[in-house]
């Protein structure tokens, strides 16, 4: 047996390699289908691994012809480690790599049995088979270890790269066209399409994507998600067109309320170059939000305007609500709550009654009472814009 193995190691590496390369192309179509392994790489890998397996067998032969484990296999596993690492970098699935090792083991076995002269006796035949497949299994295990180590290293590097890319995007670097294109490729988002940015508190990208999956599917959105160092989850949502962004925002708000998400959503921005502004909008919208829900930046524009003009805001409050605020606290609170509900319901007394809750006629009676006290005609049409602004100013503490 020793002579057979030594002869195979010296003379059969290249013939077996040729058969192995052809067999892999024929039996393991992942190599041809993906095209990620160059021909010279496949040849070198097959050659080196066949050579190493035969060397393991040669070194396993004892003076009496028996086979026993090699004391130090580390140097003999260099080809397996190199193959596992390269295939992980190339993105070839591990199962396909290991399938090639099994094909290689079979071809080495066939070659040894065919060329044994005289034929091996039954005991030698059995021992050779056991040690050959033990050597192949050892090599395969090392391939898998090297593959997973490299895969983890690449994953860590990709995670770090994506985190840096996101921070650059949120920091305004996408105003540089080269950076915008890199972010577009990496995040699978268009660089110059209308976008929304969502900022969510206390969740994960997976939870956010699951909670908003119906909205994403219904409105044909492209999305990318990232958890920041502070724990916030940021999502960029590419809109299919500019016209429907209000519907998308409304759907996002409804989904957040029904699933318990909490955060803010920006106004529409023109592309990745404006994501930093959208991020600030979403962050401002989320600030001070109590409980679940998604607050829209667009809904915060009027309060922001009121806050920027406190004197005018106080005049609005005084004009529309001053007489109510002069009433006893309980009556004042009741009438103010009714006004908030009625304005939010778009002037529908029925919907306002559901929110308060009370009977519709109670809402009507309270509105008549407010009209009398403030000397404003509230029931002649939809809620007056001045009243809506006064209520928002009051809610913002401008009184």
**Residues 213, 234 within the same domain:** yes
178 in a domain, yes or no?
Answer: no
**Residues 260, 359 within the same domain:** no
More confident residue, 64 or 138: 138
Q: C-alpha 249: how far from its chain's center? A: 21
Could you give the count of Cα atoms lying within 13 Å of 303 in the half-sphere of its Cβ? 14
Q: Is the pLDDT of residue 168 over 90?
A: yes
Per the structure, the count of domains in the chain is 3
109 in a domain, yes or no?
Answer: yes
Residues near 47 by beta carbon (within 8 Å), at least 6 away in sequence: 13, 14, 17
The β-bridge partners of 293 are 262
What sections of 61-121 are H helices per DSSP?
Answer: 78-90, 94-115
- Taking the C-alpha atoms of residue 100 and residue 394, their distance in angstroms, rounded to an integer, is 73
Q: Is the pLDDT of residue 117 over 80?
A: no
Average pLDDT, the chain: 87
Q: Can you give the residue range of the structural domain that contains 143?
A: 2-156
In Å, what is the CA distance from 273 to each residue of 74, 79, 260?
Answer: 52, 47, 31
Could you give the count of Cα atoms lying within 13 Å of 318 in the half-sphere of its Cβ? 6
**Residues 390, 260 within the same domain:** no
**Residues 253, 380 within the same domain:** no
pLDDT at 303: 65
Give 231-265 pLDDT, tens digit per residue: 889 999 999 876 678 888 888 888 888 888 889 99
238 in a domain, yes or no?
Answer: yes
Q: Which of 83-97, 156-170, 304-318 has the lowest mean pLDDT?
A: 304-318
**Residues 15, 117 within the same domain:** yes
**Residues 333, 235 within the same domain:** no
pLDDT at 147: 97
Confidence grade of residue 10 (pLDDT, cut at 50, 70, 90): confident
More confident residue, 293 or 67: 293
**Residues 138, 273 within the same domain:** no
Q: What is the CATH classification number for the domain harbouring 289?
A: 3.30.70.600
What is the pTM assigned to this prediction? Answer: 0.61
The β-bridge partners of 200 are 233, 263
């Amino acid at each position: 047996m020793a002579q057979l193995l030594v002869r195979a190691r010296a003379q059969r590496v290249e013939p077996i390699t040729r058969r192995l390369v052809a067999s892999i192309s024929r039996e393991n179509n992942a190599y041809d289908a993906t095209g990620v392994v160059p021909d010279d790489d496949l040849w070198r890998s097959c050659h080196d691994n066949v050579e190493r397996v035969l060397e393991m067998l040669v070194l396993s032969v004892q003076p009496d012809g028996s086979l026993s484990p090699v004391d130090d296999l580390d140097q003999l596993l260099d080809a397996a480690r190199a193959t596992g690492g390269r295939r992980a970098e190339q993105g070839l699935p591990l199962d396909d790599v290991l399938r090639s090792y099994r094909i290689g083991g079979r071809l080495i076995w066939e070659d040894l049995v065919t060329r044994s002269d005289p034929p091996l006796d039954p005991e030698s035949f059995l021992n050779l088979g056991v040690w050959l497949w033990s050597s192949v299994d050892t090599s395969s295990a090392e391939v898998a270890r090297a593959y997973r180590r490299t895969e983890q290293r690449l994953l860590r590097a990709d995670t770090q790269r994506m985190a840096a890319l996101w921070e650059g995007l949120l920091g305004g670097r996408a105003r540089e066209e080269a950076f915008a294109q890199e972010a577009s490729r990496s995040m699978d988002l268009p660089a110059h399409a209308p976008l929304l940015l969502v900022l969510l508190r206390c969740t994960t990208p997976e939870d956010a994507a699951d909670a908003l999956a119906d909205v994403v599917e219904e409105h044909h959105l492209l999305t990318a998600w990232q958890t920041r160092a502070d724990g916030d989850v940021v999502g960029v949502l590419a809109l299919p067109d500019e016209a429907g962004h209000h519907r998308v925002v409304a759907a996002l708000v409804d989904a957040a309320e029904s699933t318990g998400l909490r955060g803010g959503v920006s106004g529409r921005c023109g592309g990745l170059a404006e994501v930093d502004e959208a991020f600030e909008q979403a962050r401002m919208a989320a600030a001070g939000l109590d409980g679940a829900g998604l607050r829209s930046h667009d809904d915060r524009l009027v309060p922001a305007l009121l806050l920027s003009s406190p004197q005018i805001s106080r005049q609005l409050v005084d004009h529309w609500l001053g007489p109510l605020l002069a009433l006893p606290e309980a009556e004042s609170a009741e009438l103010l709550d009714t006004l908030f509900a009625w304005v939010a319901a778009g002037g529908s007394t029925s919907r306002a009654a559901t929110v308060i809750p009370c009977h519709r006629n109670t809402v009507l009676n309270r509105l008549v009472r407010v009209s009398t006290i403030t000397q404003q005609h509230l029931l002649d049409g939809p809620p007056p814009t001045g009243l809506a602004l006064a209520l928002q100013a009051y809610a913002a503490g401008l009184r």
